[in-house]
Structure 1
Amino acid sequence: MGSYRVRRIGAAVVGGLVVSLALSGCGPQPEVEKTGAAAPSPAAVTTTSVVPVPAVSTTTAAPAPKETTAAAVAVSPAHKSFTFPDGHISFSYPEDWSVTTVSGGPGFEDPPGGAIEAVVSDGGGNDLLRVASGADGIGCTAGPADRTVLDRSAVPAMRDAEGTVPEFGFVVESIGEQDWYSMTVRQPRYLEEGETSSGCDILTMGNGASITSVIFNTPPEPAFAGREAARAWMATEQYAQLKAVMLSLAYA
């Protein structure tokens, strides 16, 4: 892992697992009772209903199932967008979350020198994610590590200075007897699994270095009680929201 580390996790933790709301599934539609009414005329068969409903006038549209509306709201929440002052990096985030900015000081600080850092917080004011843009003269130190990638996806609207498309990654790196969890945007070569060197979370962009990472616990405590707890967190709404924010990153 790079020397520039995350600070703390900004969410409630129970037994090493971040707690979030689970979405309920939709149950099967009840079977419509058959009536003794005569078969509809050919004109009536052309109704646009897509689910079995009792006979209705062909001039009246059948109401959409409530489950469809609820599912649409769950997967398409309202979002806001944030763009850094220099206009290069932008991202979207849930409407009830907020973004605050901090200017970097000299040297390898938090945030690093020359950077503007956007700290993304949830509706309860918990700091969850940071995105630094425009950092000067920073780099990573590396050592041997055994990396397991729990999740990864390309961030299509981002390009580093070399023209590489970076990737979102949720990984655990074993260094000695300690597991280190990180959820960041990296160059793809730092998401290779197995015996390798610790990853670097710094992207070299046209306007300087950029760092995007979820705010996990600082050492010596690991972010999760174990890998099963980490995988369980991946099924939560909070994980999905954070991943969506990171995949929305764009560079202009």
Structure 2
Amino acid sequence: MLSARRLPVIAALAAATALILSGCGAVTPAATPAATPAATAGATAVGTPPPSSALGAADVAKYTFPDGRLSFEYPADWRVELFTGPGEPSLSRTATVLDAKGTEQVTVYSGRIADGVSHPVRRTVFESEPVPGLSRQPAPAAHYAFYVDRMDASPTYRMHLSAGAPPAGDSARLDGIIRIGKEVLVAEIKFIEKPFASDDAAKDWLAGAEGQALKALLLSVSYS
């Protein structure tokens, strides 16, 4: 996923999360929306502060799901493809965000069905903060989170939306399922299997342009 490394991307959500989409669907390339102001969020960073190269208002576009209620902002030179599941209206929708070189960076899913598998981990949290546009949804409050889970000393780096702030220390793997209205939301950055050589490397990536762009995308998710 990391553009600086140009490594192959695993085209899936984090290994233990399965989104159950039954039947056939359709992929619809989304037209590039008009640029809109970037979302503003207060930083509660653990580590290096955001760089001055953070995206400006002119660099951001907004994508809105067909229901007109769920939306997010993303770099204007990236694009969004929408997969719709069966049903009328569709029971599930997955927006895949691809960067300017066509690398899949993020998936944002909304629908009636989602599932997750949990197992014990030891977690180090790099950053976590509430998502302003999801503040009216049922508790626990949706948070943007960037952290590493370790199981048997093997690290799994994750950046996604979580239900509540992810606890540090001994815990369980998070399923990342957020309730929105009568449906659920799952939004996650698509990392390669081992994206960082160390936790310090992960923090350095977060402080760079790509890390900040992906953080801003997750913090911009909104449901009205």
TM-score of the two chains, using structure 1 as the length reference: 0.64
Q: Which amino acid letter does the alignment assign opposite residue 65 of structure 2?
A: F
In structure 2, what is the equivalent of residue 5 of structure 1? none
Three-state SS of the structure 2 residue aligned to 1:13 is coil
Measure, in 2, the Cα distance between the counterparts of 1:169 and 1:239. 12
Q: Which amino acid letter does the alignment assign opposite residue 202 of structure 1?
A: I
Q: 2:199 matched to 1:223?
A: no
In structure 1, what is the equivalent of residue 82 of structure 2? 101
User: Residues 53-72 of structure 1: matches in 2 within 5 Å?
Assistant: none
In structure 2, what is the equivalent of residue 11 of structure 1? 3
Match of residue 149, structure 1, among 97, 122, 125: 125
User: Residues 1-252 of structure 1: matches in 2 within 5 Å?
Assistant: 9=1, 11-13=3-5, 75-104=56-85, 114-136=91-113, 138-159=114-135, 162-189=138-165, 191-217=166-192, 221-252=193-224
CA 1:162–1:72: 2 relative to 1, 3 Å: closer
Whether contact under 8 Å (1:160, 1:203) holds in the other structure is: no
For residues 221-251 of structure 1, give each alpha carbon's deviation from its aligned partner in whole angstroms, at most 9, with x where no partner exists. 4221221211110121011111111111111
Larger radius of gyration between Structure 1 and Structure 2: 1
* Percent identity of equivalent pairs: 27
Measure, in 1, the Cα distance between the counterparts of 2:86 and 2:205. 34
Whichever structure has more strand as a proportion of its residues is 2
For residues 184-241 of structure 1, give each alpha carbon's deviation from its aligned partner in whole angstroms, at most 9, with x where no partner exists. 000115x010011111211122141211000112xxx422122121111012101111
Measure, in 2, the Cα distance between the counterparts of 1:237 and 1:208. 32
Q: Which amino acid letter does the alignment assign opposite residue 165 of structure 1?
A: A
CA 1:200–1:81: 2 relative to 1, 3 Å: same
Measure, in 2, the Cα distance between the counterparts of 1:226 and 1:128. 21
Gaps of at least 5 residues in structure 1 are 1-8, 16-70, 107-112
CA root-mean-square deviation: 2.5
Number of aligned positions between the proteins: 178
Measure, in 2, the Cα distance between the counterparts of 1:78 and 1:14. 22
| TM-fit CA distance, 1:177 | 2.3
Post-superposition, which runs of at least 4 consecutive aligned residues in structure 1 deviate over 6 A? none
Measure, in 1, the Cα distance between the counterparts of 2:80 and 2:2. 14
Measure, in 1, the Cα distance between the counterparts of 2:163 and 2:156. 18
Whether contact under 8 Å (1:10, 1:215) holds in the other structure is: no
CA 1:78–1:195: 2 relative to 1, 3 Å: same
TM-score of the two chains, using structure 2 as the length reference: 0.71
Whether contact under 8 Å (1:171, 1:182) holds in the other structure is: yes
